[in-house]
Structure 1
Amino acid sequence: MRVYFTFDSRPDLQKQLVDQFPEIEFAFRKGIVDNDLETAEVIVTYGEDLSAEDIAKAQNLKWIFVASAGVEKMPKEAIAQRNILVSNVRGIHKKPMTESILAHILSIKRILPTIYNNQRNKVWDKRGGRPTELNGSTALIIGPGAIGGEIGRLLQAFDVYTIGCNRSGNPAEYMNETFRMDEISEHLPKTDIVISVLPSTKETEHLIKYEHFQLMKDNAIFMNFGRGNLVETSVLIRALEEQQIQHAVLDVFEEEPLPLESKLWELDNVTISPHCSSHSSRYLERSLEIFIPSLEKYLAGDTNIENKMNILRGY
């Protein structure tokens, strides 16, 4: 059996796989190679490099392991037509993403950008800026799954009241209360921090509209760490220009990389993060912690593997 990685990885991680599975032929590449496509039974990808034409060439393909949470750039219909098994690494992002989100919140609350700027300019100004405190705040977490739950856990350690927003309204871990997505407007006016970690689906596209920003506090922080199409870019720019909220922290965008001509670059009340909040030196290690047990199951003929996905639904 041939397992084809469409990206290179650390030599020690490659050796770990080769030593643990001597019966498997592994191919570690930097990109798409036709010969590997045609012979691979399993493909490991970040989910952004496969096309419908690639799937057509991969006649032996039975399973795609996506070393990412999102699959919106994958040729879903072509994969579904072949009934190819798809799984991902949902859950491994929660530690680095939560640390990124918490870092941004504390940076804004404790005016770190002002402090850093004053240092560069050799300015000693004890009264510059208006630092605020995180404790006692209310955070609304849109999508309180594995990542949202970890965000809630750490925010609660700062005495933040956490409200979860999901499809069902069923209680979610580390949420003081949880409500349905269609009830979001009722809770935005009492929220200090709005954090979205939603995946990209038909239901979530442009879910947040201009009216939602109007309902937020004028000192609220809006954070999008899920997918960029949650909010139409023009709507987000309008809300920021009109200062409907205090600040937005964006790790994802409708168009990536963010175009140089985008007005978002020019606004003072936005922080632009280049879709890197989940990056970590331990990313691939955590991915293999899911892949290896799944591969063992697959070899034993068990396709009930961790994070098995419905590719057409996107999760």
Structure 2
Amino acid sequence: MRIYFTFEPRPDLREPLVAEFPQVDFIFENGLSNDELQQADVLVTYGEDLNDENIQYATKVKWIFVASAGIEKMPTQAIIERGILVSNVRGIHKTPMAESMLAHILAIKRALPWMYEQQKKNEWSKKAKQTELRDSTALILGPGAIGSEVGRLLQAFGVVTIGCNRSGDEAAYMNDMVSFDQLIEALPKADIVISVLPKTEETTHLLKEEHFKTMKNDAIFMNFGRGSLVEENVLIHAIQADEIGYAVLDVFEQEPLTENHPLWTLPNVIVSPHISSHSSRYVERSLEIFKPSLEKWLRGETDLENMMDLSRGY
């Protein structure tokens, strides 16, 4: 069996993998080669290097392992037509992303951005507007692996958590649940609104002008899912009209932001350049998910961890 990685793990991660599966011929390259793709039985990729044209070279590939959570940049229809199984690393981002979100929330609540600016000016001032996180309410759009981990951390700080998903069904570390249909009624309760929703037809532009109008004027809005959640002009208007107190954005409709983009300079906006999931342990955790699935695959089993339904987008 030939397994083709379109990225090269560090030697301390690559060498144990090769030793653990001596029956597998591993190919590691930084980038995608159609010649290697033609020979591969299994493809391991971040997903962004595949397109409709080169998927046609993958004539032997039966399983694609995506070392990422999103698939919107993959040639999904071509993969579906070929009947290729796809699994991903769902849940791998929960620790770094939850820690990033909590860091931003605490920084805003305890006025850290203001303090940093005062330090730059060599100015001693005690006029910081500091508030407490305890007894706040957080509304979490998408209480899956990442959203539930955020909920766990926030509950430890005495925060009431409300989860919101399509069905309104229960989710871990949520004190209450609402469905998408009930979202507009739940928003006025929230001091913090966090989205970690994937990009699907249903979640695209889910938040509209009326949703921001119902939020508290001092609410912290955080988008760490996909930029398609809200139209950019709607978000900018909400910020400029003081319909929300703060926006923390890790994702955007168009990435990267252009140098003259208004979000760079709008007050009460923190731009995180889609890095909240970054961690020195990313590939390590990816391989921890990949190895058990590979063991199953070698036994002829196809019930792999984190199987994806490409037709639904996740």
Q: TM-score, normalising length from structure 1?
A: 0.98
Give the CA deviation at 1:200.
Answer: 0.5
- Name the CA distance, whole Å, in 2 between partners of 1:262 and 1:243: 19
Deviations 1:77-114 (A, max 9, x none): 00000010000000111111000000000000001011
Q: What is residue 159 of structure 1 aligned with on the other side? A: 158
Deviations 1:18-50 (A, max 9, x none): 101111111111111121111111111111110
Q: What is residue 249 of structure 1 aligned with on the other side? A: 248
Give the CA deviation at 1:262.
Answer: 1.8
Q: What is residue 221 of structure 1 aligned with on the other side? A: 220
Runs of 4+ aligned residues of structure 1 deviating over 4 Å after TM superposition are none
- Name the CA distance, whole Å, in 2 between partners of 1:115 and 1:8: 41
Instruction: Give the number of equivalent residue pairs.
Output: 314
Give the CA deviation at 1:263.
Answer: 1.3
Give the CA deviation at 1:239.
Answer: 0.7
- Name the CA distance, whole Å, in 2 between partners of 1:129 and 1:117: 11
Secondary structure of the structure 1 residue equivalent to 2:3: strand
Secondary structure of the structure 1 residue equivalent to 2:295: helix
Amino acid at match of 2:39: T
Gaps of 5+ in 1: none
Q: What is residue 30 of structure 1 aligned with on the other side? A: 30
- Name the CA distance, whole Å, in 1 between partners of 2:286 and 2:173: 24
1:86 lines up with 2:95 in the alignment: no
Q: How does 1:171-250 map to 2 (within 5 A)?
A: 171-250=170-249
Amino acid at match of 1:284: V
Give the CA deviation at 1:258.
Answer: 1.3
Q: What is residue 123 of structure 1 aligned with on the other side? A: 123
Q: How does 1:268-283 map to 2 (within 5 A)?
A: 268-283=267-282
Amino acid at match of 1:102: L
Secondary structure of the structure 1 residue equivalent to 2:59: coil
Q: How does 1:129-140 map to 2 (within 5 A)?
A: 129-140=128-139
Identity of aligned residues (%): 63
Secondary structure of the structure 2 residue equivalent to 1:57: coil
Q: What is residue 10 of structure 2 aligned with on the other side? A: 10
Aligned CA-pair RMSD: 0.8
Secondary structure of the structure 1 residue equivalent to 2:207: coil
Amino acid at match of 2:177: T
Amino acid at match of 1:287: S
1:104 lines up with 2:108 in the alignment: no
Give the CA deviation at 1:53.
Answer: 0.9
Secondary structure of the structure 1 residue equivalent to 2:167: coil
Amino acid at match of 1:244: E
Amino acid at match of 1:179: V
- Name the CA distance, whole Å, in 1 between partners of 2:156 and 2:276: 21
Amino acid at match of 1:220: A
- Name the CA distance, whole Å, in 2 between partners of 1:182 and 1:259: 34
Deviations 1:255-298 (A, max 9, x none): 11112232111201110001110111111111111000000000
Amino acid at match of 1:96: P
Give the CA deviation at 1:313.
Answer: 1.0
Give the CA deviation at 1:305.
Answer: 0.5
Q: TM-score, normalising length from structure 2?
A: 0.99
Secondary structure of the structure 2 residue equivalent to 1:44: strand
Deviations 1:175-213 (A, max 9, x none): 000011110000111110000000000110000011100
Amino acid at match of 2:87: S
- Name the CA distance, whole Å, in 2 between partners of 1:24 and 1:145: 34
Amino acid at match of 1:174: Y
Q: What is residue 288 of structure 1 aligned with on the other side? A: 287
Amino acid at match of 2:308: M
Gaps of 5+ in 2: none
- Name the CA distance, whole Å, in 2 between partners of 1:259 and 1:301: 48
Deviations 1:202-230 (A, max 9, x none): 11000001110000000000000001100
Amino acid at match of 1:269: N
Give the CA deviation at 1:129.
Answer: 2.3
Q: What is residue 71 of structure 1 aligned with on the other side? A: 71
Amino acid at match of 1:43: L
1:312 lines up with 2:311 in the alignment: yes
